[in-house]
Each structure stands twice: as structure tokens, then as C-alpha cells.
Structure 1
Amino acid sequence: MILFTDEFRLFFNDSSLQEIADKCLKISLDAFNVNNGNIPKWTIALDELKAIPKGEIGLNEPYIRIDQNGADPIELERAFKRLLPWRKGPFRFNNLKLESEWQGDFKWKRLQKHISPLKNRRVLDVGAGNGYFTLRMAMEGAKKALGIEPFLLFNYQYAAIKSLVNKDINAMLLPIRLEEMPKLSIFDTVFSMGVLYHQRSHMEHLLQLKDMMVPGAELILETLVVEGPNGYSLIPDGRYAQMRNVHCLPSVETLKSWLVDAKFKNIKVIDISKTSPEEQRRTEWIGDNAASLEDFLDPSDSSLTKEGHPAPTRVIIICNN
């Protein structure tokens, strides 16, 4: 079990977060106690990393960097490779570069100058993966940066990273789904990035996000979109870019209308970018199943997916509760 109650209580030692602490702790402990055959391997990785000296965390763009005196790079690599695949990052540990599939720095740079400063804000990162962006939020000065991510491997990856840091960084990742979170208006900034298109009900997701936000709070929404007029959406029949569970890709105008219907205000499109092979790429850190963006596109026409849909394009929208 990788969630230590003391660490949890330290993070939730906050007047607002204490209101949801008990329920979040119960859900998290239940999640970590599931029967998963990979847990022994992941636990070995954590034990190996806990024996390595802790170090300072910092930013060496595009990497989140942790430097430890005397750490053996071979030991570091062996431990981190027990936790494959690494989707979000990248990270750097001394001279070891953990090149994740996604170059998260690309996305962060697209939104960083447009959002309200995170300093002293309570921040929720929904669908946080291994916490790369949650850590970036904490490093921007967030009072508390809470990531929620139900996929257990990503929680172990986050625990592995944090086990090497020598100080508290006001960040935490928990194995919780948004719909399981207590419905209390707590957070000043909420991020939902790469989540909406996996939802069967887009409106339910938007309203669940709204439930977590204090009046005037800021939502940063990033999702896949397609070209088209207001009212148009692509509903893939089967996979989209080899991804399962992609339910709906709206046009930008359709997405904005959804946000209006959910009573969000001050809706601003700050970026529309086609995903590039530089941002999402094949690396040794995604394991034996090393397919990535280039493998998901039509080999004769990179503007289309293998299924014949428009290639991935993502929008970032900022709005207020």
C-alpha cells in the first residue's frame, strides 16, 4: 500500500480540503487494496527508489528534474522501467532522461501565460495521469494541487517520483474518479485535460467539474475537436486514432455552446493545435507496445487517422464558474 496516512493528512490539513478528506481517504485506500497482479512489481520499484537518496525538485524545461547525490543511474533506470509505460512527462533524474510518450511541456507552454496565476490557489487536476501537470501546478505556487486519476499504475508512477523528493511540494495524486469526489465547491482552478472525449455524457462531466469550483473559479478545458459549425460533432463508430472509448469530438463552436449550457462564463479559446509527432512520440519508455501518434495516422495521408477521421486536433478553452 503506497498511500501513507501521515502524508495524506499533511496534504489535507487545510480548512476547505478537510471537508472531503475522510471520503477521499476511504476511496483511495479501497483502490489501493484491489487485487492487481502488477502490484508486487510496482512495489519492488518503490522499495528500490526509497533506498536512493532524496534530492531537490526543479524545472529544466522540458523536464521536471530531480537531482540526487550519489544515485546510481542503472538502479534508477531499472526501478522506473518496472513502471512502464510512461505516458506523461518528461522527467530527468540526474543524467537519466525519462522520455515519456507525451512531451507535456508543449501543452503547458500553450496555456501557462493565459491562465490566472496559480499562486496560493487550490487546484484540482482531473484525469491527472502520473501527475506531471499536477507537479507543474504545485511548482507554480499552488496552495494545494490535487490530482485525481483512477488508473492505478499512474498513481504508482507518481509515488515513485515523489519518493525521490526531499521536501513537501503541496501536491498529491489520488486514485479517485471525478464522479466519486464529494460535491463541494472548494477549488479556485480546475483542469480537465484529455478527459472530456472519454465521457459518455459531456454535460454530466462539465457539471461535475462545476460542482467542485468556488464562485468565479477558473476552468481550463483541453479536449479533442473537429472542424464544423455549431451543433456538429463527430461520434466515431469504433476507435478513433486507435483509441477506445472516444465518444464524441465536437466542433469548437459546439463545445462553446456546451459550456454556455452548463452556465460557464467568460469563455475564451486560447489555443487550437494539431498534435504533432514531436509532442506525442514513440520512446523506449512506453514499453513493448511502442505504438504512438505516427502509428495511429493514415500512412498515406497524415491529415487522417487510420480509421479515416480527421487527425487529432486539440483546443484549450478557459472560462469561469
Structure 2
Amino acid sequence: MREYLDLLKTADKDAILTRRAETANRLAQTKKGFLRFREPYEALHHLQAQFTDFSKDAVTIGRGTELSEADRHLVHDAMRAFMPWRKGPFDVFGVEIDAEWQSWRKWNRLLPALPDLTGKVVADIGCNNGYYMFRMLPHKPRCVVGLEPFLQHYYCFKTLRHLAGAEELFIELMGVEDIPLFPSCFDVVFLMGIIYHRISPVEMLREIRAAMRPGGVLILESQAIPGENPVALFPEARYAKVPGTYFVPTASCLRNWLLRTGFGEVEIFCSHPMSSEEQRKTAWMAFESYEDFLDPHNPNLTVEGYPAPLRVFLRATAPS
């Protein structure tokens, strides 16, 4: 496998390689929590797709006709083992995976503000199963590095990446708190659906800016509350049933956070209300979803009585 660190001259390679070795030792354990996702990944090692298409709404890896009936069943069972699927859709050797989020809608919204990715070194922080990373491939990045702290998504991505033979894509079992290991490394950073889960969002943005090359571009997407004033909601315990939600800002508050942390040319380029058409239960994600998070008598409020969320998109530039 290629080593993306060869492209990142300023990364703390010793610390990253040490972390990677520690992760490998931890994942080699035979505990059920590790085997649950490692085994389906290993079960498909003998397969690789002849056909891929990353330009359509559904990331397509292989055709059903490429496999024997036994291998088609193996793929189906492995994909089910990675449930619940949050981002998608995917079509893997004819197995159609309808994820909770129709992520193509978000991708289409950010396309008008997408910087030129040709030959660029890109980071996707909190990359989940890598849906957006695959969608970047037609734009010819030099490499895309995903940081993802959850084992389920980590192994799901590694499985999809192997099946697709996508050598430009990489993942580390890390979170946004590990971004200081990558000083002045990235031309483009995607931070989507993460910032409201951080207890210190301003400090996080400062660390992300430090991980960007001069003139690099940040694409930030977030939950937000309606309003023109630069304020943020801090829920008492939960927001839309999620306990790990801290600051839910207005779009103008997000813009000010970016400006105060040293970004320039900050643009709010999209804002839209959430809906159950975009985030919903499916056969591949059978738990509660968006409609369950709202007041059943007033869809403009969450179940806790807070304003229902918007989704907002911003583009910002690191100083040259």
C-alpha cells in the first residue's frame, strides 16, 4: 500500500507511526468488539472490483455480475455487518445500501464552492465510511486522508477502499483532536457534521488552521440554529436527543469563529432546513432518525423545545 506520509513533509511522522503501531496491536486482539468489524473486512480480502463509478449519487463499487453467487452472499453479509450505515448511498457488487443520510444532497450543495482538488492533499475529518472521500476522486486529488475514531466506520471504509482499489484514499483511526500531528500539511480540509460535538470549537478551528498549508481552503458544514445574531445555543443536556452536542451556533456565529481563529475570505454559501427526506430510517439504519428528534406537535422545535436545526455551509481560507 502507498504511504501518504511521504507527501506530508511537515507531519509528525514518528508520532503518527507510533500511534499506528499501537492501533495495530490493539486491533489484533481477539475480543468480540474488535472481531465484529475486523472479520467482515478480512472475509472480502480476495475480492476487488473491475468496475467503479464515484461520479453518481450512489458510490458504485463493482457489479453483481462480477461475482459468483457465493461471493455475492459474502458481500451482502459483510455489508450488513457494518450496520447501521449513516452515510451513503452505496452500491457494492449490486448490494444497494440506502444509508440514513442521503449524502449526495450535501455533496451537491457544496459543489459550487468546491476548491480545485487536482493534485491536492486533502483531509476529511470525521470521514465516517468515506462516502465524501470517494466522491472527491473524480476531482483528481493527490491523496485524501480520513480521520475517523470509530471502529465500525474505520473497518467499513477499509473494506470499501480495498474493494474499489482506491489507492488515493487513506484512513487513520484518529479524531479531530489528533490534527496537531499534521502541521502545515493539507491544501483542503473538510469538516462536516463535527464542530457541534466539540466542547471547545474555537480551539479546534485554531488547530485545524495550523494543519493547513498557506492559502488552503476549509469547507465547514454544521448543524445550526436560525437567527441573524452571532450566538450559539448551549443545550442543558441534549439537543435533538444527542447528549454529545455542545455549541449549536447561528451561521453568523460560525463565521465569527472562523474569523477569530485566523481564517480569511469566509463565505456562508448555503443554509437550509433539515428534513426527514434527507435523514431517515432505512433498512440499513433501523434506529431513531430525524423525525424522532422533533417535537411531534411542532416540527420547528426539537423534542427538548429548542429550535429545530438548519444545516449551514461555509468556505474559509487559511492565511497565505
TM-score, structure 1 length as denominator? 0.90
Provide the identity percentage.
Answer: 30
Query: Are residue 62 (structure 1) and residue 60 (structure 2) matched?
Result: no
Change (3 A) 1:15 1:96: closer
What's the secondary structure of 2:6's corresponding residue? coil
- How far residue 53 of structure 1 moved from its aligned partner, in angstroms, is 4.5
- How far residue 13 of structure 1 moved from its aligned partner, in angstroms, is 5.7
Residue type of the alignment partner of 1:145: V
Query: Are residue 49 (structure 1) and residue 44 (structure 2) matched?
Result: yes
Query: Which stretch of structure 1 is more off in the superposition, 29-38 or 132-141?
Result: 29-38
C-alpha separation between the residues in 1 aligned to 2:61 and 2:13?
Answer: 29
- How far residue 257 of structure 1 moved from its aligned partner, in angstroms, is 1.2
Counterpart of 1:3 in structure 2 is none
Counterpart of 2:101 in structure 1 is 102
CA offset digits 1:50-73 (Å, max 9, x no partner): 233433321362100011412543
Counterpart of 1:268 in structure 2 is 267
Does the 8 Å contact 1:24/1:176 carry over to 2?
A: no
Counterpart of 1:27 in structure 2 is 19
Change (3 A) 1:17 1:45: farther
Counterpart of 1:114 in structure 2 is 113
Query: Which stretch of structure 1 is more off in the superposition, 34-43 or 257-266?
Result: 34-43
Query: Are residue 310 (structure 1) and residue 302 (structure 2) matched?
Result: no
- How far residue 18 of structure 1 moved from its aligned partner, in angstroms, is 7.4
Residue type of the alignment partner of 1:179: E
Change (3 A) 1:67 1:18: farther
Does the 8 Å contact 2:263/2:316 carry over to 1?
A: yes
- Aligned residue among 290, 294, 302 for 1:297: 294
CA offset digits 1:219-262 (Å, max 9, x no partner): 11111111234342111111111112110111111211111111
CA offset digits 1:169-201 (Å, max 9, x no partner): 301111112222314101111111111101111
- Unmatched segments (≥5 aa) in structure 1: 1-6
Does the 8 Å contact 2:144/2:168 carry over to 1?
A: yes
Counterpart of 2:251 in structure 1 is 252
C-alpha separation between the residues in 1 aligned to 2:231 and 2:22?
Answer: 41
C-alpha separation between the residues in 2 aligned to 1:139 and 1:29?
Answer: 32
Change (3 A) 1:212 1:41: same
Residue type of the alignment partner of 1:254: C
C-alpha separation between the residues in 2 aligned to 1:106 and 1:32?
Answer: 35
- How far residue 115 of structure 1 moved from its aligned partner, in angstroms, is 1.8
TM-score, structure 2 length as denominator? 0.91
Residue type of the alignment partner of 2:275: S
RMSD: 1.9
